[in-house]
Amino acid sequence: MLEYSMLYPRETVSRRCVSMDGLWKFQFDETSQGVANNWMNGLPNPIDMPVPASFNDFFTDKESREYVGDFWYETEVFVPAEWKGKEIAVRFGSATHRATVYINGVQVMYHEGGFMPFVAVMGEHVRYNEKNRISVLVNNELTATNIPVGETKVLPNGKKMAKPYFDFFNYAGLQRSVNLIATPIENIKDYTVWFELEENKAKVNYTVDSNTNKEICVALYDENGTQVATSIGKEGVLIVENPILWKVRDAYLYKIVIEIFEGDTIIDRYYDEIGIRTVEVKGTEILLNGSPVYLKGFGKHEDSDIIGRGFSYPVMKRDFELMKWIGANSFRTSHYPYSEEMYQMADREGFLIIDEVPAVGLFASIMNFLEASSGKQTAFFKRETTPQLLKTHLRAIEEMITRDKNHPCVISWSLLNEPETTDESAVPYFEKVFEFAHEIDVQKRPRTFALIMNSLPHTCKCYQFSDIISLNRYYGWYLNGGYEISEGEEKFRKEMDAWKELNLNRPFIFTEYGADTSAMERKLPSVMWSQEYQVEYLEMNHNVFDSYEFVKGEQVWNFADFQTTEGILRMNGNKKGIFTRQRQPKEAAFYFKKRWESLPENYKSHE
């Protein structure tokens, strides 16, 4: 078990939670002298910086936007005297990519991994009935041993520059909410649920992690607030008669309440929302509650104007409304776990999520999207840095599954995106990653990884580890685009025929396929980058998908245009969005709406 709680902060009779979002002080530390110069006790020349948000796009000068290295955040928070006797902590939704936290000048926490929450316990350093200084030293450099993977280049002028092995901008900062939390000393650390469905009955199995031997009571309530089941103990079973199951685009959530008692006194109380459902892969079917489902949706990014990768309720709301409008039922959290609020919304709206760890860039190329079908080999997993990378990777998987394991929306774990799999050295690495994910997930969700175009039936050494085969394919764009699209379709079908010959008896889904498209470009006849060509490209791909019974899902790349590193092959970012970065539809959106609304939920099932 992780040494700190991943529970989402909630206020109850025993818990307090105060938002620390707002304007923080901020300062770049180009020479990494902040610690030596005592910046944890006050920044010398700070500016204001919104939290949560990426820092990059607020600036009007390029050096600030592209800044790589150390930088600091600072704020003050008041801790009331009535909280004495509780455990006081600051919970960060994330800090990209690594952070050291100081409380009143004293270091209390270090965390690596830019997309997961962590808790800095104030302990003896808290000052009651007065303000406390919270200082955070953050670093956004890319390395070979942290995920996502990349390099940090030093330019002749001494400035550092991010050189990612991935095709999205290296946004950084305190990009998710920060909260001051107070919990009882004896408290609920975590809980886990998994389900068994019987006729007119559901078994909700649970375990509770806590630091007490006092009595623990667990109760379940329906959406009307009626108690439907209760149990005593750190582990047990809640029996629900005539349960209302959580279904695709038809969500039903029960409220689980966990309490620690001493006699009649509540020592701690925590609550959450859960959905009763099962998920499994059987043959070529993806089954939810035993019924087949065909995935329709997107690869996404946490990316929007001005705030970059910063979490925004308005942007999230717009995204879900657009996904409902277009007829989608799923998305992949490419290429990192998203903000916790996204999963909560997906739970409520009945969307299915393929939850992806930040293991992107495990292919040594600054332009991997271009070299994806080149046959290039870099023997990535033979590097001397591989053991440390694996350790980092496994830790990230543990954090992701620990945080997201109880969400009904999460139906699969994606453990890598577009890694190099053409060398035998990848096999033991994959074996450890896939075994570990299976071991720690009580629900035993299906596991997958997204195969780059170099990973073909006769070249990929690792597809056997996947319960669902996920293909990222760009026939008609990076390969045989434009007037050559007919040849691209022939090559596409040839590959799919080769997969079919392997008779893997597993579901295949397409986790990426797409064509860069300018929302301003219309052309008759079509040319690449025009809206007309995007639709033609999609039609070709869907004709191929529809030809193979074992293809059980399509998640187009991408939901919306997003920012990337600048270059001659990227026109101010990746333009493969079905919607613009401002969340307005391209022509392809109307095409998808017509297609997806016509496809039944169990499309191509054996039923």
Which positions ≥6 away from 549 have C-beta within 8 Å? 284, 604
- What local confidence, expressed as pLDDT, does residue 586 receive? 98
Bridge partners of 517, per DSSP, are 529
Instruction: Single out the catalytic residue among 74, 340, 512, 536.
Output: 512
Query: Looking at the structure, do residues 464 and 389 belong to the same domain, yes or no?
Result: yes
Q: Is the pLDDT of residue 578 over 70?
A: yes
399 is catalytic: no
* CB half-sphere exposure, 215, CA atoms < 13 A: 9
In a domain, 604, yes or no: no
- High-pLDDT (> 70) share of the chain, %: 97
Query: Looking at the structure, do residues 399 and 316 belong to the same domain, yes or no?
Result: yes
Average pLDDT for 133-139: 98
In a domain, 465, yes or no: yes
- What local confidence, expressed as pLDDT, does residue 4 receive? 56
Q: Alpha-carbon distance 548 to 543, whole Å? A: 9
In a domain, 284, yes or no: no
Average pLDDT, the chain: 95
| H/E segment holding residue 201 | strand 201-210
Paired tokens of 221 = 């309530």
Query: Looking at the structure, do residues 437 and 554 belong to the same domain, yes or no?
Result: yes
Query: Looking at the structure, do residues 222 and 334 belong to the same domain, yes or no?
Result: no
Query: Looking at the structure, do residues 521 and 387 belong to the same domain, yes or no?
Result: yes
Distance from CA of residue 57 to its chain's centroid? Answer: 22
Query: Looking at the structure, do residues 326 and 452 belong to the same domain, yes or no?
Result: yes
- What local confidence, expressed as pLDDT, does residue 372 receive? 58
In a domain, 603, yes or no: no
Paired tokens of 460 = 């990929």
Q: Is the pLDDT of residue 367 over 90?
A: no
Full residue range of the structural domain in which residue 576 is found: 292-598
Which of 103, 140, 117 is closest to 29 using CA atoms?
140
Query: Looking at the structure, do residues 174 and 117 belong to the same domain, yes or no?
Result: yes
418 is catalytic: yes
- What local confidence, expressed as pLDDT, does residue 6 receive? 84
- What local confidence, expressed as pLDDT, does residue 373 receive? 59
In a domain, 5, yes or no: no
- What's the count of helices (H) and strands (E) in the chain, helices before strands? 9, 30
Give, rounded to a whole angstrom, the gap between the first and last alpha carbons of the chain.
Answer: 41
Query: Looking at the structure, do residues 264 and 124 belong to the same domain, yes or no?
Result: no
Average pLDDT for 442-455: 96
From 240, 274, 308, the end of a domain falls on 274
Average pLDDT for 464-486: 97
Q: Alpha-carbon distance 260 to 517, whole Å? A: 55
Q: Alpha-carbon distance 209 to 262, whole Å? A: 17
- What local confidence, expressed as pLDDT, does residue 582 receive? 97
In a domain, 9, yes or no: no
Q: How confident is the model at residue 1 (pLDDT cuts 50, 70, 90)?
A: very low
pLDDT tens-digit series, residues 157-172: 999 999 999 999 999 9
Q: Is the pLDDT of residue 274 over 50?
A: yes
- What local confidence, expressed as pLDDT, does residue 434 receive? 98
From 274, 300, 317, the end of a domain falls on 274
Query: Looking at the structure, do residues 420 and 301 belong to the same domain, yes or no?
Result: yes
In a domain, 607, yes or no: no
Query: Looking at the structure, do residues 329 and 407 belong to the same domain, yes or no?
Result: yes
Total domains in the chain come to: 3
Query: Looking at the structure, do residues 359 and 215 belong to the same domain, yes or no?
Result: no
pLDDT tens-digit series, residues 5-42: 689 999 999 999 999 999 999 999 999 999 999 999 99
Which of 74, 96, 77, 98 is closest to 88 using CA atoms?
77
Average pLDDT for 397-413: 97
SS3 504: coil
Q: Is the pLDDT of residue 43 over 80?
A: yes
Q: Alpha-carbon distance 217 to 208, whole Å? A: 10
Query: Looking at the structure, do residues 113 and 229 belong to the same domain, yes or no?
Result: no
Q: Alpha-carbon distance 584 to 149, whole Å? A: 32
Q: Give the CATH number for residue 340.
A: 3.20.20.80
User: Is 400 within 8 Å of 440 (Cβ atoms)?
Assistant: no
pLDDT tens-digit series, residues 488-502: 999 999 999 999 999
pLDDT tens-digit series, residues 214-252: 999 999 999 999 999 999 999 999 999 999 999 999 999
SS3 413: strand
Phi, psi of 189 (to 5 degrees): -90, -40
In a domain, 11, yes or no: no
Instruction: Single out the catalytic residue among 340, 418, 536, 554.
Output: 418
From 184, 204, 226, the end of a domain falls on 184
Q: Give the CATH number for residue 202.
A: 2.60.40.10
Q: Give the CATH number for residue 77.
A: 2.60.120.260
Which positions ≥6 away from 429 have C-beta within 8 Å? 381, 386, 390
pLDDT tens-digit series, residues 181-220: 999 999 999 999 999 999 999 999 999 999 999 999 999 9
